[in-house]
């Protein structure tokens, strides 16, 4: 049986980033209370793993306690929810998928500029609810999922409208709605659908055409896994696999080639479990079935039949194979490889699985005579193609060294490895030995293949790198060495890996003008991992986060809605710079948050040194920025402040205006 796995199966980039991030953090901080806001992933298997690590899934901000570390899942949240979570939790990690974040930015900016918003998507989907929560409160936002609803929305909205789409919405429907809107309005349409989902479905459809049976692995509650199932079920018999138990209900007797795909919320571990079980069931003989197998009648074995078996003995001239029949199968050396002077003991070992054709039902000793060569002729090329497509290594037997290439054999197929792609010394000692290579090209007409040792070793190295990246601890300080100093940051060697510290992550306080003056090559530094991009194989580090941040220490006791005593230290045309007395940090009150009467100016109302009471409306730890307001001071302290796009003044703006005044 041949198993073909779709390349794009399992976690998508956004989900993988969130699941890996939460798990890595929880593993490194076993004593902390970790909560994920909303179902991180629709996959009970993964949720069980999270429970084992004591990670709780919460659905309501009221479930957050003050020592909690809260993770925001890839679907994202509304701005109000984000502020509320930040207010209540000790720490928040935002794992909103960057594609979803992009939509938040689009609708925030467009609505702040006076546009109404149309969201094409499912109104009950958490991603859509989050997007709505980023639209300026003064603008209209309508969610539609059909052409009829698009028509109704157009009737209610003006020409200044933009359109976005839920990332995981049905692509065919999106294309229809998009076309309708483009033909009937001048709305600006942003194609925000996630291509990961589309690619996955297209690839699954192509794969379904090449196989006898399709298995879709994932949770029935996952909408994208269901869509994947729907996409292929009309092409070939398709089965939904939630647990390994589901495999037992399937009749595989007629299936020679099985296709596997999996939803964006299915872990690689689950996919591997299914593959391993299939391999165990169909490539190996389970000892518990031995009695059953002994009882098989002679007529079960027929001349010309292809059988699979487990090697039980390797001799100089033959191999004995348990084929689940009352007699063992025997493969003589000349039926293993064509013209190859090989040492069978070096190539095969007990418990290896081989495929062979029954040549004779019984010899003088009662053994079933088998030919591996014949089975290779039938299935060898098919298996090679499958390994090529899934980038799985193949074991080749080296037969010959030519001027420009090394010739090996995989199940009767010649595999040419150019000398430039060989990683070891080329000498006659490699002839007759087995080496693993990656198949880089196949010529289906000539039935030959081209392999590379170097590509395989690169793949193994990359795999090791990914594993090392997965095991990085986001909460730990690593010892590193400065390897390179660039204009925009520094490269650090640490733990056998390389990471990049962007200039903004070097220091909390210093304004970095020339990084080269701050560091020298070989200097030891402490770093903390802040992000890992597995696709780009890039690790982002921070130096500043491994140091104690004075500002954060001072501002720790402040919270949104809190009333504080402050002293005016600077009067600017667009607001007041104040010193928050008890906490010894600066804050800023934008003019829009100061009650002013007609024709009143800040200079007439306030002077430097005035003591005032103000309410905290924004705390931005990253930028060391505290926003205050003098409006509605005596409302309940717990009231959630409205998010306002007005407060976009940075320290740089303040500095700019100080100069102007002078
Ligand atoms: S499906 Fe696309 S948008 Fe959604 S989390 Fe995955 S990568 Fe991000």
Higher pLDDT, 14 or 120: 120
What pLDDT does 582 receive?
A: 86
Which ligand 1 atom is nearest residue 196's CA? Answer: 2
- Does residue 530 have a pLDDT over 90? no
Residues 138 and 645 sit within 8 Å (Cβ to Cβ): no
Does the beta carbon of 347 lie inside 6 Å of ligand 1? no
Predicted confidence band at 447 (pLDDT cuts at 50, 70, 90)? confident
CA distance 233 to 239: 8
Which residues contribute to the annotated binding site?
12, 42, 75, 97, 125, 167, 194, 222-224, 265
Does the beta carbon of 168 lie inside 6 Å of ligand 1? yes
Predicted confidence band at 584 (pLDDT cuts at 50, 70, 90)? confident
Q: What is the distance in A from the centroid of ligand 1 to the CA of 204?
A: 17
Residues 238 and 214 sit within 8 Å (Cβ to Cβ): yes
Percent of the chain with pLDDT over 90: 37
What pLDDT does 166 receive?
A: 95
Residue 622: burial class (beta carbons within 10 Å; 0-12, 13-18, 19+): exposed
Does the beta carbon of 76 lie inside 6 Å of ligand 1? no
Higher pLDDT, 463 or 242: 242
Average pLDDT over residues 449-455: 94
Q: What is the DSSP string of 405-432?
A: EEEEEETTEEEEEEGGG--S---GGGTT
Mean residue pLDDT of the chain comes to: 84
- In which element (H, E) is residue 94 found? strand 91-94
What pLDDT does 638 receive?
A: 39
For the ranges 101-115, 519-533, 643-657, the lowest mean pLDDT is seen at: 643-657
Q: Is 99 helix (H, G, I), strand (E, B) or coil?
A: helix
What pLDDT does 58 receive?
A: 92
What pLDDT does 440 receive?
A: 92
CA distance 197 to 265: 11
Predicted confidence band at 416 (pLDDT cuts at 50, 70, 90)? very high
Average pLDDT over residues 421-439: 90
- Does residue 634 have a pLDDT over 70? no
Q: What is the distance in A from the centroid of ligand 1 to the CA of 264?
A: 8
Average pLDDT over residues 371-392: 85
Q: How many helices (H) and strands (E) does the chain have?
A: 20, 32
Average pLDDT over residues 458-463: 85
What pLDDT does 353 receive?
A: 86
Residues in the chain, overall count: 662
Which ligand 1 atom is nearest residue 100's CA? Answer: 3
**Ligand 1, residues 19, 22, 40, 196: which to mutate, most atoms within 8 A of Cβ?**
196
Residue 375, token pair as written in the block: 């089975």
Higher pLDDT, 268 or 458: 458
CA distance 512 to 508: 10
- Does residue 660 have a pLDDT over 60? no
Does the beta carbon of 564 lie inside 6 Å of ligand 1? no
Does the beta carbon of 225 lie inside 6 Å of ligand 1? no
**Ligand 1, residues 8, 10, 13: which to mutate, most atoms within 8 A of Cβ?**
13
**Ligand 1, residues 100, 190, 195, 224: which to mutate, most atoms within 8 A of Cβ?**
100
Which ligand 1 atom is nearest residue 13's CA? Answer: 7
Which ligand 1 atom is nearest residue 97's CA? Answer: 8
CA distance 62 to 64: 5
Q: What is the DSSP string of 296-362?
A: --GGGS-TT-EEEEEEEEE-SSEEEEE-SSSS-EEEEGGGTSTT----HHHH--TT-EEEEEEEES-
CA distance 86 to 93: 9
CA distance 582 to 555: 10
Residues 285 and 329 sit within 8 Å (Cβ to Cβ): no
Q: What is the DSSP string of 547-569?
A: S--HHHHHHTT--TT-EEEEEEE
Nearest CA to ligand 1 atom 2: 194
**Ligand 1, residues 19, 197, 225: which to mutate, most atoms within 8 A of Cβ?**
197
- Does residue 618 have a pLDDT over 50? yes
Residue 121, token pair as written in the block: 């998507």
Contacts 24+ apart (CB under 8 A), 153-157: 153/118, 154/181, 154/184, 154/185, 157/116, 157/118
Q: Rounded to whole angstroms, what are the CA distances from 307 to 1, 202, 322, 397, 559?
A: 10, 34, 10, 22, 71
CA distance 141 to 25: 36
Nearest CA to ligand 1 atom 7: 14
CA distance 377 to 265: 39
**Given 81, 86, 127, 355, the catalytic residue:** 127
Residue 586, token pair as written in the block: 């600066």
For the ranges 365-369, 403-407, 435-439, the lowest mean pLDDT is seen at: 365-369
| Domains, the chain, ordered by start | 98-193 (3.40.1010.20), 288-376 (2.40.50.140), 391-460 (2.40.50.140), 476-546 (2.40.50.140), 550-661 (2.40.50.140)
Residue 446, token pair as written in the block: 């000539």
| Residue located via tokens 């001048």 | 186
Q: 11-47, pLDDT tens digit by residue? A: 887 888 888 778 877 877 777 888 999 888 777 778 8
For the ranges 79-93, 159-173, 219-233, the lowest mean pLDDT is seen at: 219-233
Q: What is the distance in A from the centroid of ligand 1 to the CA of 16?
A: 9
Which ligand 1 atom is nearest residue 15's CA? Answer: 5
Q: What is the distance in A from the centroid of ligand 1 to the CA of 99?
A: 7
Residues 577 and 654 sit within 8 Å (Cβ to Cβ): yes
Count other Cβ atoms within 10 Å, centred on residue 589: 27
- Does residue 658 have a pLDDT over 60? no
Which ligand 1 atom is nearest residue 98's CA? Answer: 8
For the ranges 192-196, 335-339, 610-614, the lowest mean pLDDT is seen at: 335-339
- Does residue 622 have a pLDDT over 90? no
CA distance 560 to 49: 35
| For helices 171-184 and 195-210, angle between their N-to-C axes, nearest 10 degrees | 130
Q: What is the distance in A from the centroid of ligand 1 to the CA of 622?
A: 26
What pLDDT does 115 receive?
A: 95
What pLDDT does 24 receive?
A: 76
User: Would you give the DSSP letter of residue 378?
Assistant: I
Q: 543-578, pLDDT tens digit by residue? A: 988 887 778 878 878 888 888 999 999 999 889 999
| Residue located via tokens 């909390």 | 508
Which residues contribute to the annotated binding site for isopentenyl diphosphate?
42, 75, 125, 222-224, 265
Nearest CA to ligand 1 atom 8: 14
Does the beta carbon of 13 lie inside 6 Å of ligand 1? yes
Average pLDDT over residues 329-350: 82
CB-based contacts of 298, cutoff 8 Å, min separation 6: 361
- Does residue 386 have a pLDDT over 70? yes
Does the beta carbon of 40 lie inside 6 Å of ligand 1? no
Residue 334, token pair as written in the block: 């000349």
Q: What is the distance in A from the centroid of ligand 1 to the CA of 315?
A: 54
CA distance 176 to 182: 10
CA distance 145 to 143: 7
CA distance 598 to 309: 92
Residue 59, token pair as written in the block: 């659905």
Percent of the chain with pLDDT over 70: 91
Average pLDDT over residues 95-100: 88
CA distance 434 to 36: 49
CA distance 233 to 241: 13
Average pLDDT over residues 447-462: 90
Residue 646, token pair as written in the block: 């007005």
Three-point CA angle 635, 637, 638, nearest 5° = 115
- Does residue 648 have a pLDDT over 80? no
Residue 493, token pair as written in the block: 């060697």
Residue 147, token pair as written in the block: 């052409």
For the ranges 191-200, 235-244, 292-301, 421-430, the lowest mean pLDDT is seen at: 292-301
Which ligand 1 atom is nearest residue 195's CA? Answer: 2
Which residues contribute to the annotated binding site for [4Fe-4S] cluster?
12, 97, 194
CA distance 432 to 430: 6
Pick the closest to residue 545 from 520, 533, 528, 532 (CA basis). Answer: 528
User: Would you give the DSSP letter of residue 63?
Assistant: G
Q: What is the distance in A from the centroid of ligand 1 to the CA of 11?
A: 9
CA distance 505 to 500: 10
Nearest CA to ligand 1 atom 6: 14
pTM (2 d.p.): 0.46
What pLDDT does 100 receive?
A: 93
> 366 φ, ψ to 5°?
90, 5
Higher pLDDT, 616 or 659: 616
Please, what sign has the CA dihedral across residues 208, 213, 214, 220? positive
Nearest CA to ligand 1 atom 5: 14
What pLDDT does 282 receive?
A: 66
What pLDDT does 300 receive?
A: 62
Higher pLDDT, 531 or 415: 415
Q: 124-173, pLDDT tens digit by residue? A: 999 999 999 999 989 999 999 999 999 999 999 989 999 999 998 888 89
Q: What is the distance in A from the centroid of ligand 1 to the CA of 135?
A: 21
> 355 φ, ψ to 5°?
-110, 140
CA distance 173 to 166: 12
Count other Cβ atoms within 10 Å, centred on residue 296: 13
Does the beta carbon of 616 lie inside 6 Å of ligand 1? no
Q: Which residues of 431-447 are buried (b: 16+ CB within 10 A; e: fewer)?
A: bbeebebbbbebeeeee
CA distance 383 to 393: 11
Q: 272-297, pLDDT tens digit by residue? A: 888 888 877 765 433 333 343 334 43
Q: Which of 77-91, 221-235, 521-535, 616-630 has the highest mean pLDDT?
A: 77-91
Q: What is the distance in A from the centroid of ligand 1 to the CA of 628?
A: 36
Which ligand 1 atom is nearest residue 12's CA? Answer: 6
- Does residue 635 have a pLDDT over 70? no
CB-based contacts of 450, cutoff 8 Å, min separation 6: 415, 416, 417, 418, 439, 440, 441, 442, 443
Task: List alpha helices for 401-533, DSSP H.
Answer: 453-470, 515-518
* 409 a catalytic residue: no
What pLDDT does 66 receive?
A: 86
| Residue located via tokens 């925030």 | 108
């Amino acid at each position: 049986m041949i198993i073909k796995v779709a390349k794009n199966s399992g976690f998508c980039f956004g989900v993988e980033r969130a699941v890996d991030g939460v798990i890595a953090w929880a593993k490194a901080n076993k004593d902390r209370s970790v909560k994920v806001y909303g179902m991180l992933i629709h996959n009970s298997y993964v949720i069980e793993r999270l429970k084992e690590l004591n990670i709780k899934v919460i659905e309501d901000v009221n479930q957050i306690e003050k020592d909690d570390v809260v993770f925001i899942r890839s679907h994202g949240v509304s701005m109000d929810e984000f502020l509320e979570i930040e207010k209540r939790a000790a720490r928040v990690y935002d794992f909103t998928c960057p594609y979803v974040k992009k939509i938040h930015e689009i609708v925030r900016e467009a609505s702040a500029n006076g546009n109404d918003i149309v969201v094409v998507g499912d109104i009950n989907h958490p991603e859509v609810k989050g997007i709505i929560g980023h639209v300026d409160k003064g603008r209209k936002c309508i969610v539609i999922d059909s052409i009829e609803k698009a028509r109704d929305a157009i009737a209610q909205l003006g020409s200044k409208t933009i359109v976005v789409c839920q990332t995981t919405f049905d692509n065919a429907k999106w294309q229809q709605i998009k076309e309708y809107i483009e033909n009937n309005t001048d709305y600006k349409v942003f194609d925000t659908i996630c291509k990961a989902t589309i690619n996955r479905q297209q690839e699954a459809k192509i794969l379904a055409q090449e196989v006898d049976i399709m298995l879709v692995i994932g949770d029935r509650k996952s909408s994208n896994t269901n869509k994947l199932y729907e996409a292929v079920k009309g092409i070939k018999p398709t089965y939904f696999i939630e647990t390994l138990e589901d495999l037992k209900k399937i009749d595989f007797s007629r299936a020679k080639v099985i296709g596997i795909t999996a939803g964006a919320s299915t872990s690689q571990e689950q996919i591997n479990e299914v593959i391993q079980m299939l391999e165990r069931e169909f490539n190996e003989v389970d000892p518990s079935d031995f009695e059953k197998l002994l009882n098989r009648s002679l007529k079960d074995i027929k001349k010309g039949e292809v059988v699979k078996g487990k090697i039980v003995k390797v001799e100089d001239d033959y191999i004995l194979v348990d084929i689940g029949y009352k007699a063992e199968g025997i493969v003589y050396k000349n039926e293993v490889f064509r013209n190859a002077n090989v040492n069978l003991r070096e190539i095969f070992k007990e418990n290896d699985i081989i495929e062979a054709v029954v040549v004779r039902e019984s010899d003088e000793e009662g053994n079933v005579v088998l030919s591996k060569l014949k089975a290779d002729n039938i299935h060898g090329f098919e298996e090679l193609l499958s390994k090529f497509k899934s980038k799985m290594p193949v074991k080749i037997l080296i037969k010959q060294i030519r001027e420009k290439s090394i010739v090996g054999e995989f199940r009767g197929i010649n595999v040419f490895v150019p000398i430039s792609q060989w990683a070891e010394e080329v000498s006659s000692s490699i002839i007759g030995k087995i080496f693993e290579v990656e198949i880089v090209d196949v010529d289906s007409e000539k039935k030959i293949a081209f392999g590379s040792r170097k590509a395989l070793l690169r793949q193994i190295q990359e795999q090791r790198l990914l594993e090392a990246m997965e095991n990085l601890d986001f909460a730990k300080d690593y010892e590193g060495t400065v390897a390179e100093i660039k204009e925009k940051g520094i490269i650090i060697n640490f733990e056998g890996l390389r990471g990049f510290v962007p200039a903004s992550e070097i220091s909390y306080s210093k304004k970095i003008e020339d990084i080269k003056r701050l560091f020298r090559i070989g200097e030891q530094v402490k770093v903390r991992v802040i992000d890992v991009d597995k696709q780009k194989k890039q690790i982002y580090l921070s130096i500043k986060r491994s140091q104690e941040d004075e500002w954060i220490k001072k501002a720790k006791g402040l919270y949104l809605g809190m009333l504080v005593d402050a002293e005016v230290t600077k009067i600017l045309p667009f607001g007041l710079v104040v010193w928050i007395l008890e906490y010894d940090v600066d804050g800023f009150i934008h003019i829009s948050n100061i009650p002013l009467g007609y024709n009143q100016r800040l200079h007439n109302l306030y002077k430097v040194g005035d003591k005032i009471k103000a309410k905290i409306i924004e705390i931005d730890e990253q930028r060391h920025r505290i926003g205050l307001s003098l409006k509605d001071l005596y409302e309940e302290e717990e009231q959630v402040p409205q998010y306002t796009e007005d407060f976009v003044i940075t320290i740089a703006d303040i500095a700019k205006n100080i100069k102007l005044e002078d």
